[in-house]
Structure 1
């Protein structure tokens, strides 16, 4: 047998992290206790053996992937660490799921139930990890594939075939369910994802129970739409509080439900939010693939507002790839499409109303700012971002329903000021964001405030306003204890 070879990939990530072997061992043990794996007891000698090529036992590879991903703010897969992931044989544990209505309902029901139960008990499941690359993109492409004629009969197909419905739900009850989704969406926009996530997951589980029965075709379609919107909202809220694997799982399940409802525009919205998550995780190529899939799938159904949203997210993906001309083109198309809204009389879905002039300016401003990062912190792109970001901040300052977006764009404004070497102005914008952050529950907002403050301290630690900002964050926005994910 050949001798073990040092694990150079793991060693590279370990050295970059700045951790000692003892610190990594302590973090692994702490995370193991959080997930109920009390049998794990790692020390410095064990870490040394991993670096020397020993393969750690489950669930340590997943723990290491989570720890390094959090350390670097981007997805560090198990394979990136030179380790092998043990295939999870539990049905529906990943993203490559069957495009089948009855199985979709069962998967959503099972996952939402597990989410509620495991979070209540304070456990962190080890069965779910983020999926990226072709393992993510290829299954999502099947969203557009025709449903096979051999597909098992679902509630929807049973209704289409004219079978007698077995379910009982009145028109007013169904309308109330749909209005509840709108209410949850408004709460999220105003207060952040941390306050109502469990309520959304609970409602999702209840709607899945309804779909165990059959209904007339239109009722079944509306129930699948409601299911898709609740699953999407559960994903969005999970993303907002840093539960990325759970967010991705809910997004994928939401896309499956949207396909059952025949709702291409909402499927495109789901894919645009999956794109946003991949940008957040520094997987820009994946983000671009997802947004192109959304654009292609909705090319015959998207109105000008949704086209503007998709072009704006395309610009974000190109900006994070450093593709300047393509970013400019997509941002310009977003502006042109948004301008067409006034000339159309077509009714728009309520879930698209969030994409306002403020959101358009916000997305394009962040694209120009991100180009600055990719061009070595070029002030040219920062100067271009500034008036667009200022316009977004001004519009959001008058919008009480989207306080989280207001906070995120104040942070974006702070980052633009830092690129222009204006620490006092950056601290002022960040302080306003802290005012909002203390009133809502969004770890996404809190994390971005902390990162902006750290960046300011890195360059301007002698500026009093910057020091006072850091002190306030330490006092009023303590480190977040991430909710236990399934």
Structure 2
């Protein structure tokens, strides 16, 4: 028994699953290929008991309902194949019953519930990771089911004049409060630890320290269940928001998309409790990036506009520039070149004002450097090129900005994942310009970096780029050599999460 069946024999009163069959036929996969992909994804999730074969796939098509985590895995695989969200229900499969704390994104916008949900979800994540079922009990939200709850980020919370959870009343006798509260050095240590985790993520990828970040988040939520002065409680909520966003980003980086979305949503709730609208806009930008990755640029644009509106009076020029750059990415993927170009110009013009702000900026936005600005704008033009049918004009617009990003990241010892991603981006630009030999040089350099960075996102983009080169230029010697090198040096193995 491989754990992927429904426990009943095939053909016993079941009707063929026409929905699953339709998606399967359109995918172009064979039964064996789908089985291999399911097994690979299961290993990445830690579900090592899954061992699917062609006969099992045939039984699913015949109507057998697989047990979790198979429905979730199939949903993710087909979503990635078609570039848009393919829900479990779209495949004619049933979802397991989920408690409100682990399903959906429409959560109560109130401090006590935010603390409780952060604590429960981080604890479950740590426990399920040890048991080998990480991320298998969640589903992705998209469209109105995602956007409408996020719009409540700007709605005042009922009872906002009451002290939030963890805040000690000035009239309270101090019962239940930590003696003396958290000291300033203790708070600063918590905050500096988050900075350190963020640097590790940029340098080593999300697969190396994700569980450590989740563990730190759980510790902070424990502190939030105690009484503190209001200023301390807000700093703790801010710390929780940053850690939850980082846990979401690292989950996204290793391919755990539903888990990532859940952390992003909880991070936005915590940012609201902290009263930090710029941080909330940053969380929304991370959610927007994920939606672009999942082929939902309309949702990405809604999230970015919400971020821009919510932080219009308080975000620094650097943060506003980042939001314009993400707006350009969304417009590019929607095939709207004039709006994309306008957003690119706004990103560049606003970034020029970043040094004029004067005051210190939060650590979470410091990643948005000149290199990152060039990288985002280059990817916008690159995406436009693909949407416009591999347009060489937009590829030419992407090339100088991508080249500049690669030059800057090459000498950045911290942002190695960004270096790899932009090497891959530059390789795709050369492919768009029908220059396969130059593309293989960049992709080979990216492979050298990818071997040091534990990022499934980098690995998948590199594999996809090399697959495209092999499909279009399979008779070019450099492409053949790179394909062999990739197979030998970057095997498809599970990521540590």
Q: Is the 8 A contact 1:255 1:270 kept in 2?
A: yes
Moved more, 335-344 or 306-315: 335-344
Task: Choose the corresponding residue for 1:357, options 370, 387, 393.
Answer: 370
For residues 202-213 of structure 1, the aligned pairs below 5 Å read 202-213=215-226
For residues 86-485 of structure 1, the aligned pairs below 5 Å read 88-124=98-134, 126-149=136-159, 154-156=164-166, 158-159=168-169, 164=174, 166-167=177-178, 168-482=181-495
2:60 equivalent to 1:47: yes
Q: Is the 8 A contact 2:125 2:135 kept in 1?
A: no
Q: Is the 8 A contact 2:248 2:261 kept in 1?
A: yes
Aligned-partner SS, 2:352: helix
Distance 2:441 2:481 in 1: 10
Q: Is the 8 A contact 1:368 1:385 kept in 2?
A: yes
Query: Shift of the alpha carbon at 1:152?
Result: 8.5
Instruction: Tell me the alpha carbon deviations over residues 295-329 of structure 1, each in whole angstroms, 9 at most, x when there is no partner.
Output: 11111111111110000000000000001111011
Instruction: State the TM-score, normalized to the length of structure 1.
Output: 0.91
2:91 equivalent to 1:81: yes
Query: Shift of the alpha carbon at 1:474?
Result: 0.9
Query: Shift of the alpha carbon at 1:86?
Result: 5.6
Distance 2:80 2:119 in 1: 29
Give the RMSD, CA atoms, in angstroms. 2.7
Aligned-partner SS, 2:353: helix
Instruction: Tell me the alpha carbon deviations over residues 336-387 of structure 1, each in whole angstroms, 9 at most, x when there is no partner.
Output: 1001123332332122111011111100000001000011101010011101
Change (3 A) 1:38 1:465: closer
Change (3 A) 1:477 1:58: closer
Distance 1:153 1:429 in 2: 55
Q: Which runs of 5+ in 1 are unaligned?
A: none
Query: Shift of the alpha carbon at 1:178?
Result: 0.7
Change (3 A) 1:469 1:32: closer
Q: Which residue of 1 aligns with 2:10?
A: none
Change (3 A) 1:159 1:241: farther
Q: Is the 8 A contact 2:21 2:61 kept in 1?
A: no
Query: Shift of the alpha carbon at 1:143?
Result: 0.8
| Residue-pair matches, total | 479
Instruction: State the TM-score, normalized to the length of structure 2.
Output: 0.89
Change (3 A) 1:466 1:150: same
